[in-house]
């Protein structure tokens, strides 16, 4: 059970458990200096946290059993607000006998919390209730959970990998600034959401559009002129490293070094769907990613632009001599690729939080996904990313006789080792065509 600041819970409209007799409808929030506690049952992270009403909380001065300052029973919102006379040390005790049936304290069942009141307004205390106990989760449940989060992570990587693969296929550029394009999507979502007050969904749409514009501008200002100058591929690769350093520093300069959250869908509980449990935003991530990938794949196969992209990717000279405007095709590839990558950033921001190096940390995994599937192939990028996503999430769950080959703290290592192994045995990737690559 969590005693959380009531303000933080304002958005949630929880359904209270059956109130015991004598539960006050609502305890008034004390104006002056006070100690406020909101008891919430987090139910091991499944479903919305539910308030726990009818629990008696008592505040003592200095130590438990000392001078009693006040006592109150949690209301239908699970809240008490007890006034205190001055700054100082207070102890809040929770009467465990008054807890509703089926609700238990977790975290060592500590029923006392010491609070040092320093501010004149509300002072908050936290109790742990119903938090999940990791050791008790069965292996099968851990496995299904990790497979689900692996697929989700893999789909996010796949969007970025699709962008990288498209750009590599048509221009031959190994873009080390690709991680920053992911970050761009995440930060833009944050800016539209918090800065301009849009809803997260609208902000995400705007961020993808901003990504497309960014891709267009990049090709017009930077990569296009470089191509026309005949700059070598390795020189372009090093330019992309410089660009990555530049973008990352600019992000840190403007956004700051801290990790921030979007305004909506931050802490969502999970609902059970058969053996798996998902929160609504995770379902949204699955749906959005799959729909985007399917649309792109169909467009690549059926539309005129998609066909010309594949033609340029296959053989730029032949496409040019067949009358294709190679340069404008490459521009559309940059627009599409950067927009897809920005979408990956949006979903990543939704799934986790926003940070100036969220994409940089993902760059090598995107490379791993693309290389595993085969550089420059669309289906390969998809398959490779999903495998990498699964590897990252599932590998820490597996333990052989108590020995964990890939501990959770270094879960990326497994995917990177696979990247090197695949280069050893099948350098063209799973779905790539065997051609001269050495």
Partner 1 sequence: MDFGTLIDAALSSALGPQAIVFALAAIGLNVHFGYTGLLNFGQAGFMAVGAFGLAVSVTTWDLPFWVGIAIALLATVVLAIILGVPTLRLRADYLAIATIATSEILRLIFGSVEAKETFGGSNGLTGFSTTYKDLNPYNSGLDLGVVSFSRNDLWSITVGWSLVAISCLIVWSLMRSPWGRVLRSIREDEDAVRSLGKNVFAYKMQALILGGVFGGIAGIFHVLKQASAVPTDFNTTFTFYAYAALLVGGAARVLGPVVGSILFWFIIAGLGSFFSQATSGTDPLIPASIMTDTQASLVRFIVLGLGLMLLMIFRPQGIFGDRREIAIDGR
CB of 403 to partner 1, least distance (A): 10
Asked if 242 interacts with partner 1 (CB under 8 A), we say yes
Within positions 367 to 396, which residues make up the interface with partner 1, using CB under 8 A? Answer: 367-368, 371
CB of 12 to partner 1, least distance (A): 34
Asked if 401 interacts with partner 1 (CB under 8 A), we say no
Asked if 398 interacts with partner 1 (CB under 8 A), we say no
Question: Residue 60 or 243: which CB sits closer to partner 1?
Answer: 243
CB of 357 to partner 1, least distance (A): 10
Stretch of 12-20, 67-75, 230-238, 380-388 contacting partner 1, by CB under 8 A? 230-238
Asked if 400 interacts with partner 1 (CB under 8 A), we say no
Question: Residue 90 or 356: which CB sits closer to partner 1?
Answer: 356
Q: Is 431 exposed, middle or buried (0-12, 13-18, 19+ CB in 10 A)?
A: middle
Within positions 166 to 225, which residues make up the interface with partner 1, using CB under 8 A? Answer: 172, 174
Residue 240 near residue 173 (C-beta atoms within 8 A): yes
b/e per residue 45-63 (b: at least 16 CB within 10 A): eebbbbbbbbbbbbbbeee
Asked if 232 interacts with partner 1 (CB under 8 A), we say yes
Stretch of 28-36, 78-86, 129-137, 416-424 contacting partner 1, by CB under 8 A? 416-424
Residue 81 near residue 27 (C-beta atoms within 8 A): yes
Asked if 64 interacts with partner 1 (CB under 8 A), we say no
Residue 414 near residue 392 (C-beta atoms within 8 A): yes
Asked if 7 interacts with partner 1 (CB under 8 A), we say no
Q: Which of 20, 413, 430, 431 binds partner 1 (CB under 8 A)?
A: 413
Q: How many Å is the Cα radius of gyration of the chain?
A: 27
Q: In sequence order, what are the residues at sequence separation of 6 or more whose Cβ sits closer than 8 angstroms to the Cβ of residue 213?
A: none
Asked if 405 interacts with partner 1 (CB under 8 A), we say no
Stretch of 103-111, 182-190, 232-240, 282-290 contacting partner 1, by CB under 8 A? 232-240
Question: Residue 11 or 252: which CB sits closer to partner 1?
Answer: 252
For 118, the token pair is 């320093």
CB of 203 to partner 1, least distance (A): 25
Q: Which of 11, 132, 420, 433 binds partner 1 (CB under 8 A)?
A: 420
Asked if 241 interacts with partner 1 (CB under 8 A), we say yes
Stretch of 17-25, 61-69, 113-121, 231-239 contacting partner 1, by CB under 8 A? 231-239
Question: Residue 70 or 427: which CB sits closer to partner 1?
Answer: 427
Within positions 347 to 366, which residues make up the interface with partner 1, using CB under 8 A? Answer: 364
Question: How many chain residues bind partner 1 (CB under 8 A)?
Answer: 45
For 206, the token pair is 């705007």
Place of tokens 């005129």: 304
Asked if 426 interacts with partner 1 (CB under 8 A), we say no
Question: Residue 201 or 237: which CB sits closer to partner 1?
Answer: 237
End-to-end C-alpha distance for the chain, whole angstroms: 59
CB of 133 to partner 1, least distance (A): 21
Question: Residue 103 or 431: which CB sits closer to partner 1?
Answer: 431
Within positions 245 to 264, which residues make up the interface with partner 1, using CB under 8 A? Answer: 245-250, 252-253, 256-257
Asked if 430 interacts with partner 1 (CB under 8 A), we say no
The residue ranges that bind partner 1 (CB under 8 A) are: 172, 174, 226, 229, 231-235, 237-239, 241-250, 252-253, 256-257, 364, 367-368, 371, 404, 407, 409-410, 412-413, 416-417, 419-420, 423-424, 427, 437-438
């Amino acid at each position: 059970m969590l005693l959380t600041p009531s303000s933080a819970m304002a958005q949630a409209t929880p359904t209270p458990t059956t109130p015991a007799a004598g539960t006050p409808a609502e305890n008034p929030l004390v104006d002056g200096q006070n100690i406020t506690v909101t008891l919430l049952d987090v139910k091991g992270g499944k479903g919305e946290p539910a308030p726990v009403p009818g629990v008696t909380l008592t505040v003592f001065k200095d130590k438990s059993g000392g001078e009693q300052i006040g006592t109150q029973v949690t209301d239908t919102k699970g809240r008490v607000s007890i006034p205190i006379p001055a700054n100082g040390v207070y102890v809040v005790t929770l009467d465990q006998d008054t807890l509703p049936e089926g609700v238990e304290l977790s975290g060592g069942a500590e029923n006392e919390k010491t609070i040092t009141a320093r501010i004149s307004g509300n002072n908050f205390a936290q109790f742990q209730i119903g938090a999940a106990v990791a050791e008790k989760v069965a292996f099968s449940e851990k496995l299904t959970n990790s497979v689900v989060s692996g697929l989700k992570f893999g789909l996010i990587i796949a969007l970025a990998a699709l962008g990288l693969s498209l750009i590599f296929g048509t221009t031959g550029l190994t873009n080390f600034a690709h991680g920053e394009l992911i970050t761009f999507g995440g930060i833009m979502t944050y800016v539209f959401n918090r800065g301009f007050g849009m809803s997260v969904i609208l902000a995400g749409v705007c961020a993808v559009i901003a990504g497309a514009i960014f891709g267009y501008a990049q090709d017009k200002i930077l990569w296009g002129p470089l191509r026309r100058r005949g700059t070598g591929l390795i020189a372009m690769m090093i330019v992309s490293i410089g660009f990555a350093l530049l973008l990352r520093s600019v992000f840190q300069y403007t956004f700051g070094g801290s990790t921030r959250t979007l305004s909506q869908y931050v802490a969502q509980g999970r609902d059970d769907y058969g053996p798996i449990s998902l929160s609504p935003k995770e379902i949204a991530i699955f749906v959005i990613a799959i729909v985007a990938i399917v649309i792109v794949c169909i467009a690549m196969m059926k539309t005129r632009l998609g066909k010309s992209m594949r033609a340029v990717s296959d053989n730029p000279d032949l496409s040019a001599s067949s009358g294709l405007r190679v340069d404008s095709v490459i521009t559309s590839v940059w627009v599409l690729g950067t927009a897809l990558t920005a979408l990956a950033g949006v979903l990543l921001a939704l799934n986790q939080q926003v940070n100036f190096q969220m994409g940089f940390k993902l760059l090598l995994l995107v490379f791993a996904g693309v290389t595993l599937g085969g550089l420059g192939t669309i289906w390969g990028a998809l398959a490779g990313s999903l495998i990498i996503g699964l590897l990252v999430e599932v590998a820490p769950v597996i333990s052989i006789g108590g020995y964990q080959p890939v501990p959770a703290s270094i879960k990326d290592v497994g995917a990177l080792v696979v990247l090197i192994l695949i280069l050893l045995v099948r350098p063209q990737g799973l779905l790539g065509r065997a051609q001269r690559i050495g």
